[in-house]
Amino acid sequence: MATVVAVENLNPKVLQCEYAVRGEIVIHAQRLQQQLQTQPGSLPFDEILYCNIGNPQSLGQQPVTFFREVLALCDHPSLLEKAETTSLFSADSISRAKEILATIPGRATGAYSHSQGIKGLRDAIAAGIASRDGFPANADDIFITDGASPGVHMMMQLLIRNEKDGILCPIPQYPLYSASIALHGGTLVPYYLDESTGWGLKTSDLKQQLDDARSKGIDVRALVVINPGNPTGQVLAEENQYDIVKFCQNEGLILLADEVYQENVYVADKKFNSFKKIVRSMGYGENDFPLVSYQSVSKGYYGECGKRGGYMEITGFSAPVREQIYKIASVNLCSNITGQILASLVMNPPKPGDESYAAYQAERDGILESLARRAKAIEDAFNNLEGYSCNKAEGAMYVFPQIHLPKKAIEAAKAAGKAPDAFYALRLLESTGIVVVPGSGFGQVSKSNLS
C-alpha cells in the first residue's frame, strides 16, 4: 500500500524552501556533539561552538535581572502576597509586576489574551516607541507575536497571491525572508548590497532590480530592509533611509523594516533611526505610507531568544486590510504571555531614578560594550587571517567575512558536490568544532562568505 504522506507528495513549496541557519552544517554539528558525549576524545576538539545563530544566552550572556524578576512575579503572582518576597525581589520589580497584572483581565497570565496582545502592554510598547522616535504610536497598530518571525510570515501570506508577486530582499539576507517567500509561493527579487562600500545600499540599484523584475512580469509588492543588517551588520545612514522611503513612495511599495537589532550599534559615527521616525519626519502621516516595523526581544542587550517575544507596528494600511491581518492573528488566538510582557519591558525599561536603574544600566552597558569589543576583535582577527577580508561590524551580532578560496579548494568542493563555502565550513567544523553558516545560505552567489 502506498504511503500517503511521503516526500514525493509533499507541498512543493515546503520542499523548495531552505533555512541554512539551522541547515546541514548544524545537523552535522549536533551529530558530532553527540559523538563527543558518547566517545570523548574521539575528535580534535572538546566542544562544539555554535556560532551559526544569534543566540546570546546559549553562549553565556546573562539575562537582565530586572526583566527576569518581573517575569517570575507575573508567572507566580501569589509571590506578591508573601512577606518574604520583598527580601528576594527589588521594590520596583514588584511594583512593575503589580502594574502589569492590573492590565491583564483577572490577573490571569494563563489565559488567551486579545489576539493583538494585552492592551495595557501594547500601550507600554506604544509609549516606548513614541519616546524613542519623538512621534506618537498607537496601541491598535501593534501586533505582539511569538518572536518577530511570525509577523514576517503574516505579511508574506497577506501579500503573496502567486509566483508573480515579488518581494525585494537584500542580498545577503537573513534567510527567514527567502524561506518565507518560498513557503508562500512568491518570488524573491534580490537587490545587492555592495561589499566594497561597507555593504551599502543605493536606490539606483533598487530601481534597476525593480525594473528588471517588472519587465519579467513580476508584480513587486514590498521592500525588505534589515537595519542594522543581518548578516552584514551595517547601519543605514539617515540620508540613505530618506532615499529608501522616497523610493517606496514613488514605486508604490510597502516597506517592511526589520529593526530587531536596533539596540546593537557599535560605532560612534552611526545611529539607529527607526523607519517610522524617518517616515514621520518626512511629513508622511498615519495614513500616507504603508510601513511594517519589526522588533524582537531576542536581540539587543536582552537576548531573550527562548521567550519568543516580538511585535510588528503597522501603519498606513486601510481598515479592511487591517481587519484581515487581525483575522489571521486570531486563528492562532494569541502569542505567549511571557513574550508579551517581555516586549513591553524591553520597550519600557527602568529609568534614571528607579531603584533598579543602576543595576540595569550596568548590565545593559556591560553587554553592549562587550559586544562592541568582540565585534572589533573578531573583525581584526579575520582581517589578519590569510585569505580573509572582513568589513566592519557596525551593528547586529554577526560578521560576514569574505574568504578568497584557492582554485584547488573550489575544485575539491565541486568534486564533493558542495558549494565552496559550505565545503570550507564543513572542514572548519570537523577540525575545530566551530559552527558557522556558509555565505551561500544568505544568498551570496559568486563569492564565499561565512557568518
- Within 215-274, the residues that bind another protein by CB under 8 A are 221, 249-254
- How far is Cα of residue 330 from the mean position of the Cα atoms in its chain? 23
Q: Is 85 in the site for another protein (CB under 8 A)?
A: yes
Nearest-angstrom CA–CA distance, 214 and 96 = 52
Residue among 17 and 237 whose Cβ is closer to another protein: 17
Residue among 149 and 173 whose Cβ is closer to another protein: 149
Residue among 235 and 255 whose Cβ is closer to another protein: 255
Identify the residue among 158, 345, 371, 375 touching another protein (CB under 8 A).
158
* Shortest Cβ 53–another protein spacing (Å): 7
* Shortest Cβ 78–another protein spacing (Å): 8
Q: Which stretch binds another protein (CB under 8 A): 9-17, 345-353, 370-378, 397-405?
A: 9-17
Q: Is 71 in the site for another protein (CB under 8 A)?
A: yes
Q: Which stretch binds another protein (CB under 8 A): 57-65, 223-231, 386-394, 436-444?
A: 57-65
Residue among 14 and 377 whose Cβ is closer to another protein: 14
3-state secondary structure the chain: CCCCCCHHHCCHHHHHCCCHHHCHHHHHHHHHHHHHHHCCCCCCCCCCEECCCCCHHHHCCCCCHHHHHHHHHHHCHHHHHCCCHHHHCCHHHHHHHHHHHHHCHHHCCCCCCCCCCCHHHHHHHHHHHHHHHCCCCCHHHEEEECCCHHHHHHHHHHHCCCCCEEEEEEECCCCHHHHHHHHCCCEEEEEECEHHHCCECCHHHHHHHHHHHHHCCCEEEEEEEECCCCCCCCCCCHHHHHHHHHHHHHHCCEEEEECCCCCCECCCCCCCCCHHHHHHHCCCCCCCCCEEEEEECCCCCCCCHHHCCEEEEEECCCHHHHHHHHHHHHHCCCCCHHHHHHHHHHCCCCCCCCCCHHHHHHHHHHHHHHHHHHHHHHHHHHHCCCCEECCCCCECCCCCCEECCCHHHHHHHHHCCCCHHHHHHHHHHHHHCEECCEHHHHCCCCCEEEC
Q: Is 84 in the site for another protein (CB under 8 A)?
A: yes
- Which residues in the 119-148 window bind another protein by CB under 8 A? 146-147
Q: Is 1 in the site for another protein (CB under 8 A)?
A: yes
* Shortest Cβ 23–another protein spacing (Å): 8
Q: What is the residue whose three cell numbers read 518576597?
A: 85
- Which residues in the 298-357 window bind another protein by CB under 8 A? 298, 303-308, 316-318, 320-321, 324, 327-328, 330-339
Q: Spell out, one character per residue from 363 to 402, where the chain touches another protein: x when CB under 8 A holds, - when not.
A: ----------------------------------------
Q: Is 99 exposed, middle or buried (0-12, 13-18, 19+ CB in 10 A)?
A: middle
Identify the residue among 76, 216, 246, 271 touching another protein (CB under 8 A).
76
One-letter amino acid of 316: G
Total residues contacting another protein by CB under 8 A comes to 99
Q: Which stretch binds another protein (CB under 8 A): 110-118, 129-137, 237-245, 395-403?
A: 110-118
Q: Is 160 in the site for another protein (CB under 8 A)?
A: yes
* Shortest Cβ 317–another protein spacing (Å): 6
Q: Spell out, one character per residue from 179 to 218, where the chain touches another protein: x when CB under 8 A holds, - when not.
A: xx--xx----------------------------------
Enumerate residues 6+ apart whose C-beta is below 8 A from 442.
Answer: 20, 171, 172, 173, 174, 175, 231, 400, 449, 451
Q: Is 113 in the site for another protein (CB under 8 A)?
A: yes
Residue among 183 and 372 whose Cβ is closer to another protein: 183
Residue among 19 and 388 whose Cβ is closer to another protein: 19
- Which residues in the 401-430 window bind another protein by CB under 8 A? none
* Shortest Cβ 380–another protein spacing (Å): 27
Q: Which stretch binds another protein (CB under 8 A): 36-44, 68-76, 193-201, 426-434?
A: 68-76
Q: Spell out, one character per residue from 15 to 34, where the chain touches another protein: x when CB under 8 A holds, - when not.
A: x-xxx-xxx-----------
